[in-house]
Chain A
């Protein structure tokens, strides 16, 4: 194809075979003769803009506190060919190019901060980790369910954080560490018990997906806070296990959980809060063992 453009540099010392395409002969090298393509070659190149745009409609929940009226779903059309793969890319594109008043929380864009938690197509998740569904169907984006909306997709998380604080998420000991001034030793097996709980980023996807939490947001602690409660209960270095179990052994704080298991489905980090709550319930049954 491009043989006219490349000629073989003849090595004076060695004699090589007369094949047109580049052989694997070590002595000969292919040298670029002319650096441009002929007109026939240029016609074969595909034009960059293929003329097909992949438009997708996003229906986004809007509500403005400065102009309070009924919340609306507003439509935005995005060309997916000029947009990143994740929902957060689409939201940022809308905010940059179409509507700068669109308000949402975001920070790390890699699924570790938990700011961009919202309800995408009926399921809670992080916008930076949720791929945009290909296909012509509309994507509906609403804020986290059953939370008070501050503006557009931003919700009031105060109650959620207060519930997390109420379980006292820090190490509590009655005795000083075995070797004074040094860390409290923990075996690998005991450390492995914390796997699946320490990774929680407090994005609130699980708690706001739980219907029990919807109907009792102030009395039921919610899957996230209970997952962290289990994290501290299971920590071998913590010595207040009995007190922690007694603190949540309450009709409302723990036993509003009916293993609906929406939380495990919604967690963007792949954790299973339902399993941890089950663990707490079993510990309560066996009397804090």
Chain B
């Protein structure tokens, strides 16, 4: 949405030039670029470039001669960068803005830990339920004739008791949290003050 608005402004302001947005990839290996790629970048007449790209590169280099564009395609790292547009300044540079760190830096607190444990226990119980259902009801006795299958079940038999106790813990925690949530909602018990 924002990029289309900026494009409209582009078209209206710069009349005859149709500029295709070129994004610079956030590459950490910029300093170690070999001379071969640098030649490719600075050579405006290489066959891989279209005329609009040439014009854009020339414009950007006229404004900022120290800018080095190593690649045309933007790397959309998962969750790392997202496209956004500079609309304020006169420079028509499309750069990718990074997303500020969230999960790696945020300190976990008591209530947030309780909440995520509730979610994890719920997911664990669902998977245990599904697994036990598949195991007990869907699996016929013929599966046990396969030796590797039988071997797997023989050796993992001890895990059943452990997973039963863990799932009992998860079930009790999930139930307590659910009851607390219900009480907060229905009885207007009030949300506890955390500070």
> Residues on A close to B: CB < 8 A?
61, 63, 65-66, 68-71, 119, 121-123, 140, 142-150, 155-156, 209, 211, 214, 258-262, 264-265, 267, 270, 272, 274-275, 278, 281-282, 285
Contact = CB atoms under 8 A, between A and B. Distances in A.
B115 A121 contact: no
B24 interface: yes
B27 A69 contact: yes
Contacts of A281: 185
Interface in B148-195: 181, 184-186, 188, 190-195
Contacts of B95: 65, 68
B134 interface: no
B30 interface: yes
A265 B105 contact: no
B107 A123 contact: yes
A128 to B, nearest CB: 18
Given A259-B111, A264-B191, A267-B195, 7 more contacts: A63-B98, A69-B30, A145-B105, A148-B97, A156-B97, A265-B109, A265-B111
A145 B100 contact: yes
A272 B193 contact: yes
Contacts of B98: 63, 71, 148-149
B191 A275 contact: yes
12 contacts: A65-B97, A69-B27, A147-B100, A148-B100, A156-B84, A214-B103, A259-B111, A260-B115, A264-B193, A270-B195, A278-B184, A285-B186
Contact of A119 (B28, B105, B115): B105
Given A211-B112, A259-B181, A265 B195 contact: yes
Interface residues of B, number: 38
Given A69-B26, A70-B26, A149 B190 contact: no
Given A211-B112, A214-B102, A148 B184 contact: no
A264 B194 contact: yes
Nearest to B101: A142
Given A261-B194, A275-B190, A275-B191, A146 B109 contact: no
